[in-house]
Structure 1
Amino acid sequence: MGLTEIKDRIAAAETAAGRVPGSVTLIAVSKVQPAARVEAILEAGQKVFGENYVQEAAGKWPGWRATFPGVEVHMIGPLQTNKLKQALEIFDAIHTIDRAGLAEKLARQVQARGACPQLFVQVNTGSEPQKAGILPEDADAFIASCRALDLPLTGLMCIPPEDQDPAPHFTALAGIAARNGLAGLSMGMSSDFEAAIAAGATHVRVGSAIFGARSYT
């Protein structure tokens, strides 16, 4: 499909939803992609990328950032507390704040550093036992606890169940964000980002539709 087509579809979805042009940030999900593919997208002018693994990001992004100034790298995978310090050195945003222990350790690290990336709380809108994220009924209290730790939250993130219509999940996340005064909504992937934009997404995470299928071998 390619980067240009995805950008065109995002622009069309913004227009259809009555959104301000350019109000949706495209996160190009570059995890497990060959270097040549990522470099081609960097050379095409894409500025925001998403990674799932701290070690993988640490191995490749310092070099690319030196060559391509102004690039942002966002953490969109589960974050282990023992990788937190390294993550704060690499990532401009973390989309997967999902438990009290992580929030508490993050608050201590942020205070020590005097700087903080953009932070999104991951909400498990489908209440799936195998999936990370705060349960919807616990989201308000968790957001309040993060704020009590002086964590400056940007917004919320979700990954709807694969076997369900994503639209109600996007609407539910937008509702939680609205009542908590959070503007950021990280939701929507290759198969459903237009529905996410219609529901208010500010960040969409698109990988295979830009780079091609991943190879995990």
Structure 2
Amino acid sequence: MPPIEDDMPAGRLAAISATIARTAALAGRDPAGVELIAVSKTHAVEAIRPLIAAGQRSFGENRVQEAQAKWPALKAETPDIRLHLIGQLQSNKAMDAVALFDAIHALDRPSLAEALADAIARTGRTPTLFVQVNIGAEEQKGGCAIGDLPALLARCRALDLSIAGLMCVPPQDVEAAPYFALLAKLAREHGLAELSMGMSSDYETAVLIGATAVRVGTALFGTRG
């Protein structure tokens, strides 16, 4: 990743966008097929506005309640913002999530699929849905177990939920490429086109392996003091 000036949001955004474009080209991919999600969790509105001003339109939040406090006003000001829920979602928050988010990356169990289907039917909103896979089989992480993925996707189909793709967070401090490759293989096997994978430390690897959405926080917002 090229050096990035911490005090220049527009410069950070331009550098990361250029890296994504270059990496996609190396992989023989159209750079337009990779969505850069700026992970704005824990960051105040004042830190987000400069990135919006620089042209960034996709943002990611971990918690419904935090997003509700920040994003309705920002989305009213800039209607083409696309907001992604990238953290774990409780079933009792499904209605709030569907009402606010344009994409939900955390579908990981049948009960949540049922809650989301009900919320979609009630609100008429149809956010893009990703099934999160616990790709490293880590007990402390959310996500559907690899072995449970076929049954969960079948349940989603039965509920008439349209699943765009798969999402993962690989284990820390190990090479991410094998986990990204496994997620890509699972997506191919199930006929899913989208892959939400890659963060600040490994988004280039993710793009090489086929990511259609990368979730970048620190590299865009800088290190918090």
Confirm or deny: 8 A CA contact 1:140 1:176 kept in the other structure: no
Structure 1 position 12 matched with structure 2 position 19 = no
Alignment of 1:143-162 (within 5 A): 143-162=153-172
Which of 97, 100, 105 is residue 95 of structure 1 equivalent to?
Answer: 105
Q: Structure 1 residue 4: deviation in Å? A: 1.0
Which of 69, 72, 86 is residue 59 of structure 1 equivalent to?
Answer: 69
Which whole-Å deviations, capped at 9, do the CAs of 1:9-49 have from their partners, x for residues lacking one? 10111011110131100000001113222000000010100
Question: Which range is displaced more, 65-74 or 122-131?
Answer: 65-74
Structure 1 position 40 matched with structure 2 position 40 = no
Two-structure CA RMSD over aligned residues (Å) = 1.0
Structure 1 position 68 matched with structure 2 position 110 = no
Q: 2:118 & 2:165 partners in 1: Cα distance?
A: 20
Confirm or deny: 8 A CA contact 1:32 1:214 kept in the other structure: no
Q: Structure 1 residue 8: deviation in Å? A: 0.7
Question: Which range is displaced more, 144-153 or 187-196?
Answer: 144-153
Q: 1:88 & 1:104 partners in 2: Cα distance?
A: 13
Which whole-Å deviations, capped at 9, do the CAs of 1:132-188 have from their partners, x for residues lacking one? 001112212211111111101010000000032110110100111111111010000
- Unpaired runs of at least 5, structure 2: 5-11
- Unpaired runs of at least 5, structure 1: none
Which of 77, 84, 87 is residue 94 of structure 2 equivalent to?
Answer: 84
Which whole-Å deviations, capped at 9, do the CAs of 1:63-88 have from their partners, x for residues lacking one? 11121120010000000111111111
SS of residue paired to 1:22 = helix
TM-score by length of 1: 0.96
Q: 1:41 & 1:19 partners in 2: Cα distance?
A: 25
SS of residue paired to 2:25 = helix
Alignment of 1:55-204 (within 5 A): 55-204=65-214
How many residue pairs get matched?
215
Which residue type is aligned with residue 107 of structure 1?
A: A
Question: Which range is displaced more, 198-207 or 33-42?
Answer: 33-42
> Structure 1 residue runs of 4+, over 6 Å off?
none
SS of residue paired to 2:38 = strand
Confirm or deny: 8 A CA contact 2:62 2:87 kept in the other structure: yes
> RCO higher in 1 or 2 (8 Å CA, sep ≥ 6)?
1
Identity of aligned residues (%): 51
Q: 2:223 & 2:99 partners in 1: Cα distance?
A: 29
